[in-house]
Amino acid sequence: MAGAKNHDYHILDPDIWPLVAAFSGLTFTTGMVMFMHDDFFGAAWRIVLGLGVAGLIATFFGWFSKIVNEAQRGDHTPVVQLHMRYGMILFIASEVMFFVGWFWSWFDFALFPKPLAYDAAAGLWTNMVGQEGAARFAHFPPDGIEVLNAFDLPLLNTLILLCSGTTVTWAHHCLINGDRDGLKKGLWLTIALGILFSCIQAYEYAAAPFGFGGVNYSSAFYMATGFHGFHVIVGTIFLIVCLRRTYLGHFTPKQHFGFEAAAWYWHFVDVVWLFLFVAVYVWGGWGAPVH
């Protein structure tokens, strides 16, 4: 019969959302560049950045809802699910390399520190390169920096994320075994722990004894931990969507890639935090005065 489907692949219909996503991403990045050069562009960056963010949010709702509908129609055959898993693995691999860049900068600053001195009166760090006695300032963190106690809030957040990895694994186990009630409880607990982590991280930033700029230690600290915090927020939203789909009756023991992808992403966030805790909080602040 003409047009009959005789394969296990899902042939996508023509769709506008990839084009919307591309233009939204371009608008968003353009707005960010304008924001960083607001002395030239003025307040115009607010409009451009706002349009970019609105376009990306619309893409998330429009495109992802279509993918959910495809899954519910049965378009995600075992072959399609296998390839989606490959895609998720590659996405997580790209995220790994993203954080490798921040760890690289952190270790570069730590192992090859710039000789800096802190002028308490002016509140500035002064480059001592070429000046007599500069070598004694070449250490990391530099003078004038009080580090956060690694075994205070950072350790608490480590325990919270480890517990959340356990609860999301419990939810996955319940899903595979057809326990819908356990699935809901596991997701609720994981989401609550993720929100608690973000709140503690925000409090830590508010109470930190150093700001974002001024010295490589503080800049690298906020970029590495801040991007991880952003990933925790994204992962929490990911899990909230899975919880909503669970209440709508989605996911079966045989077909639940959406939940599986969220669980993989959450475990990735857990592992990255463990490396951050050891490298940034414990090793990076070793021997420095504690706030």
**Chain segment 77-130, per-residue pLDDT in tens:** 889 989 999 999 999 999 999 999 999 999 988 888 766 555 555 555 555 444
3-state SS class at 290:
strand
Decide: 45 and 38 in contact? Cβ < 8 Å.
yes
Higher pLDDT, 258 or 11: 258
Class of domain 76-112+145-291: mainly alpha
In this predicted structure, the answer to whether residue 9 has a pLDDT above a threshold of 60 is yes
| DSSP-based helix, strand, coil % in the chain, nearest 5 | 70, 5, 25
**Domain ranges within the chain, ordered by starting residue:** 15-75, 76-112+145-291, 115-140
The per-residue pLDDT for 134 is: 45
- Tell me the CATH architecture of domain 15-75: Orthogonal Bundle (1.10)
In this predicted structure, the answer to whether residue 141 has a pLDDT above a threshold of 70 is yes
The per-residue pLDDT for 127 is: 54
pLDDT tens digits for 212-239? 877 788 889 999 999 999 999 999 999 9
Give the C-alpha separation, 103 to 100, whole Å. 5
Decide: 80 and 8 in contact? Cβ < 8 Å.
yes
Tokens of 34: 């304008």
Give the C-alpha separation, 268 to 272, whole Å. 6
